[in-house]
Structure 1
Amino acid sequence: MSSGITVIIYHVKDLAGAKALYGAYLGSEPTTDTPYYVGFEFEGQQIGLVPDGNDNGSGPVCFRDVPDIAASLRALVAAGARTTEEPHDVGGGLLVASVTDPDGNVIGLRQLP
């Protein structure tokens, strides 16, 4: 049994737009692509998009380690995200930033020193 999170679900209104944005975030194409669920496999993690129109924006925040936080932030904004937290050092050279997708879900980025 895994001790980590194995599935993260984001509730979205625009499945096609979310698929493009999360494809940019993860740097991959979906492994499951249906009208009711789009899933991405990422390093043993399942990231799922469910088009149920939930607009509360209270989904989980997941931080992904990236080699270049500025470039990753630009790619997400170009794919439709809105910057909510510019890259900044939270101590010891660790950089974090976040964006919000069009459905209000927060996506976190982290760059190790």
Structure 2
Amino acid sequence: MTSVRTIVYPVGDLTKAKAFFGALVGAEPYMDEVYFVGYHADGQNIGLDPNGHRQGLTGPVCYWHVEDIKESLQRLLASGATLRQDVIDVGGGKLTALATDADGNVIGLVQVAEAGV
């Protein structure tokens, strides 16, 4: 089963973004590192990526949680998507990848070793 459960926002000023999203979500982050800040919000993971703009991201990326990231990425590429970021291990048993659809929309995939993230 695939579903969108993570949205990552590229941010220029992590301190300001944390203040804004903390107020929006109404909670403290579950992860607060210099490279990523994450919030849980009613079943959604909301992430702040201070490196996103340097990676060419201009807006939020929705990450589809999938059981087999390599197979899912290959299906997207076979359907005409362009590879933006191959599968990488971002730690904690989490794998991510990015593809771009025909309209230039960035689509994220995530595979998590444990359910619930």
Hey, which of these two has a bigger chunk of strand by percent? 2
TM-score normalised per structure 2: 0.46
